[in-house]
Structure 1
Amino acid sequence: MKINPKIFKAYDIRGKEGQDLTPEFAKRLGGAYIVWLKEKINKNNPLVVVSHDVRELSLLLAKNLAKGMSMAGANVIFSGESSTSMYYFVVNITKADGGIMVTASHNPKGDNGFKICLAGAVTVGLGDGLEEIQNLMENETDFAGEDEGSVETKNFLSDYVNFLTRIEIDYKEKIIIDCANGAVGPIMEEVLRKLNLNAEKLFFNPDSNFPNHDPNPLKEGALNKLVVKVKESGAELGIAFDADGDRVFFIKKDGSLVGADVMAIILSRHFLQKQKGENIVLDLRMSREVLEEIKGGKGNAIISRVGHTFIKQAMRQNNAVFGAELSGHYYFRDFFFADGAIFAALLFLKIIGEGGKTLEEITHGLRNWEKSDEMNFKVENAPALIEKVKEKFKDGKQKEIDGLSVDYADWWFNLRASNTEPLVRLVVEAKNKETLKEKVGVLTSLILGV
């Protein structure tokens, strides 16, 4: 079959429902994955998990995916609709050899995709086997195994909710929870039944049209309705999940966003107060103030490339207690070294409930440096540009973990190429607004060739 090669991304497969991603594609993917997995783990009848999000064709794609897997000899646990974090949970508690989640993450309506993993929910992306699966799909004609496997449907919602609600929370303030009409809604419904939280619900009903706002909370305007509700109701806190439920964001009572840097400081402090010397993984875009917090708390900061594949690898390799990405992914050793959005939200409620302070008091003064958003620039030759910038700032302390990071005493920046688009991405942080503005201007002019 003809396959659009552009749908194979760095960490997953993403394309258009009904165009790039059809039932036939899903069935072939299932077969190719199992053929690849059998050789990878030397097992004839692997046990795998299939889950799916709330998008229009996700269930149909998941059923065809499971069919292709079973025809190739796998025993499939079909866990149905779930968030991505719940999918990671199921792969781990069933001790499955791998799995595939049908989801386009936080992409717009009309998109869909597949997140592929090995045992332990270890990501399979480009460089880890995804290109080999692509080659099998394009070249092999028959994936049928000698013995057809089975497909067993099983609901893990109660297991997941029981796992999450082991976190003991004593938080009485009013909160507003926005589930974005995505996969988290039904899970949070059950979580709220078990926890004594003063919570008001927004957009809990799964809807593939995402009628209330963009499925990505970081898109302009996506958090507006939550902000209005928080302000109108006098709530202390707003919580927003993305459509597939692996990222979470927090809104203060004044409507401002609690940035991922601040969340990383709060969560790092929590873990280091319990145990000094713990390893904590950060993506290299995180504020230098997070590094200082970890160092001051007698912890060890492990700097990682951007992307959940790399964060998870670093988490496992270093037995890290916690990990954070600027994009709102939070990872925990107690959540299988994976990103658990609801887990992060409940842990945060536990922390602020125990602190005896308001959210404003807890967050006050945690950030003093000034930081830019991540800025995107369209370029034709990213490697040449990065070399040019490297030469310009050769007097700084340079690292090339992911693109180019350059540190000075009172400012730093990271410039890296996108894995999926002809873009470079820039983050700049400085000790004051004036320096930030100056350095952003210098770098922008250099990037644009002005």
Structure 2
Amino acid sequence: MTTLSKSIFKAYDIRGIVGKTLDANVARQIGHAFGLAALAKDQRKVVIGRDGRLSGPELAAALAQGLQSAGVDVIDLGVVATPMVYFGTQVLGAQSGIMVTGSHNPPDYNGFKMVLAGEAIYGDAITGLYDSILVNGGKLAGTPGSYSTHDIKAEYLQRIIGDVKISRPIKIAVDCGNGVAGAFAGDLYRGMGCDVIELFCDVDGNFPNHHPDPAHPENLQDLIRCLQQTDAEIGLAFDGDGDRLGIVTKDGQIIFPDRQMMLFAEDVLTRHPGEQILYDVKCTRHLAPYIEKSGGVPLMYKTGHSLVKAKLKETGAPLGGEMSGHIFFKDRWYGFDDGLYAGARMLEILTKHADPSALLNALPQSDSTPELHLELKEGENFALMDKLRSDARFPGNERIITIDGLRVEYADGFGLARSSNTTPVIVMRFEAETPEALARIQGQFRDVILAAKPDAVLPF
């Protein structure tokens, strides 16, 4: 039996390694603590679901037992994409939900993404669950909650297909990397009228073909080859639990989510002129001017799906997005991140044009890197980031933004270093107008990181 470890309670979800920091016993305790938190907010029902990971059935069953032991009724959606649990909290008379998912982490990870009384919980609310387990672990309800199952697939697909319309037939390729989105993506896009080529859409928690994380170019190579070898016009890729979207053009260009956001913002602002559009610190410098040109107000914020969702609710913004691929539509949708829905909205935009790839490739861009990871030991990432914030010095008149890590804005580019909240890494990203400027900015970051940690093995 695994001992409960505070280390799995991250900034905006719970993540652990199965058999080491996470097992059925831990899942049961988390369910009980969440159930008590739900009852404290007068929530009597909790929706749960799980992705395709091999540990999912055992953890989801234990989670349900924990919730019931607190006196909460459980509605189990079974194997679903994370956004389908969020959707369930909107339509099933239960405003709270837990998704059992390891997202894009390696196969031996799993975890929980949570919505409590309509709010994505993060920070102290998550560590509060750990504290509750220590204090209330043995307090069982006099009458346990009920357990029922519900198949939400048809309702979810119809909600999207009934609202999002393509302007012309289009052939697309979809790569789900054997993640859970594979159980739904083909049906969704065919239901919209698309001709769909499916890659790795059989759900397999071993992820035998490539890792289900479209943020990394190596995971998109199969999709790029498919577009080269077939008459598909565009490629969509999804992460392991279906809440993030990747896009590849006909000529093999990767359209990272910060550039996707330009088209989404332009479209949304036609219905919400003058509103704020939210984006995270990893996004391109070209996004803010594009939002302004489209009649919106750009607002840079911290990285983290729960944090962005909370900020979206606070500001009333109709759209938010992260470089990692989480896109949040409050316009015509519910404000949660949903890769499958974002893919549908992108197809609605692209099918208004004869050449979708030309439209995407014409979006402003500079020389840039994908996310780069400096691998560290558990906990080291936060200590190093604190040291960089206090000690790092950059030559010149750069603008330094510290809302999440260090983002240094230059006249000709930017560099970013921030601590991941899910794995022990420093995430970095660089962008510049020329390769020379990119090398210069990376050189300055290399200098300050090595000054703080001389043995750091940098990924650039």
| TMscore range, shorter length | over 0.9
Aligned partner of residue 54 in structure 1, secondary structure: coil
Q: Which letter maps to 1:38?
A: L
Q: What is residue 3 of structure 2 aligned with on the other side?
A: 2
What TM-score, normalized to structure 2?
0.90
In 2: Cα distance, 1:22 partner to 1:421 partner: 19
Deviations 1:18-43 (A, max 9, x none): 4432222222221121123323x1x3
Structure 2: runs of 5+ lacking an equivalent: 455-460
Q: Is the contact between residue 186 and residue 205 of structure 1 (CA under 8 Å) also seen in structure 2?
A: yes
- Indicate which of 384, 387, 390 corresponds to 2:390: 387
After superposition, the CA RMSD in angstroms is: 2.1
Deviation at 1:78, TM superposition (A): 1.2
- Indicate which of 412, 433, 436 corresponds to 2:435: 433
In 2: Cα distance, 1:295 partner to 1:160 partner: 33
Q: Is the contact between residue 251 and residue 357 of structure 2 (CA under 8 Å) also seen in structure 1?
A: no
- Indicate which of 108, 111, 115 corresponds to 2:109: 111
Deviations 1:290-343 (A, max 9, x none): 100111111011111011122111211121111111111111003321111111
Identical pairs, percent? 30
Deviations 1:124-167 (A, max 9, x none): 2332x211211232344423112222112111111101111121
In 2: Cα distance, 1:67 partner to 1:248 partner: 33
Deviations 1:200-243 (A, max 9, x none): 11122211222221122334632222221111113211111111
Decide which moves more: 163-172 or 293-302: 163-172
Q: What is residue 458 of structure 2 aligned with on the other side?
A: none
Deviation at 1:423, TM superposition (A): 4.1
In 1: Cα distance, 2:177 partner to 2:13 partner: 22
Q: Which letter maps to 1:341?
A: G
Q: Which letter maps to 2:235?
A: G
In 1: Cα distance, 2:373 partner to 2:208 partner: 28
Aligned partner of residue 99 in structure 1, secondary structure: strand
Q: Is the contact between residue 382 and residue 423 of structure 1 (CA under 8 Å) also seen in structure 2?
A: no
In 1: Cα distance, 2:156 partner to 2:259 partner: 28
Aligned partner of residue 24 in structure 1, secondary structure: helix
Decide which moves more: 297-306 or 255-264: 255-264
What TM-score, normalized to structure 1?
0.92
Q: What is residue 168 of structure 1 aligned with on the other side?
A: 165
Q: Which letter maps to 1:136?
A: S
Residues 242 and 424 of structure 1: CA distance in aligned 2, closer, same or farther (over 3 Å): closer
Aligned partner of residue 38 in structure 1, secondary structure: helix
Deviations 1:163-201 (A, max 9, x none): 111211134232111122221122224324522212111
- Indicate which of 270, 281, 285 corresponds to 1:284: 281
Deviation at 1:6, TM superposition (A): 2.0
Residues 372 and 177 of structure 1: CA distance in aligned 2, closer, same or farther (over 3 Å): closer
Aligned partner of residue 338 in structure 1, secondary structure: coil
Q: Is the contact between residue 108 and residue 215 of structure 1 (CA under 8 Å) also seen in structure 2?
A: no
- Indicate which of 319, 322, 326 corresponds to 2:319: 322
In 2: Cα distance, 1:149 partner to 1:89 partner: 22
Q: Is the contact between residue 171 and residue 350 of structure 1 (CA under 8 Å) also seen in structure 2?
A: no
Q: Which letter maps to 2:427?
A: R
Q: Is the contact between residue 386 and residue 415 of structure 1 (CA under 8 Å) also seen in structure 2?
A: no
Number of aligned residues: 443
Alignment of 1:161-310 (within 5 A): 161-166=157-162, 167-219=164-216, 221-310=218-307
Deviations 1:76-125 (A, max 9, x none): 111111101111111111242412111111111122111122122x2223
Q: Which letter maps to 2:144?
A: E
Q: Is the contact between residue 216 and residue 371 of structure 2 (CA under 8 Å) also seen in structure 1?
A: no
Q: What is residue 23 of structure 1 aligned with on the other side?
A: 24
Structure 1: runs of 5+ lacking an equivalent: none
Q: What is residue 64 of structure 1 aligned with on the other side?
A: 62
Alignment of 1:47-62 (within 5 A): 47-62=45-60
Alignment of 1:406-445 (within 5 A): 406-420=408-422, 423-445=425-447
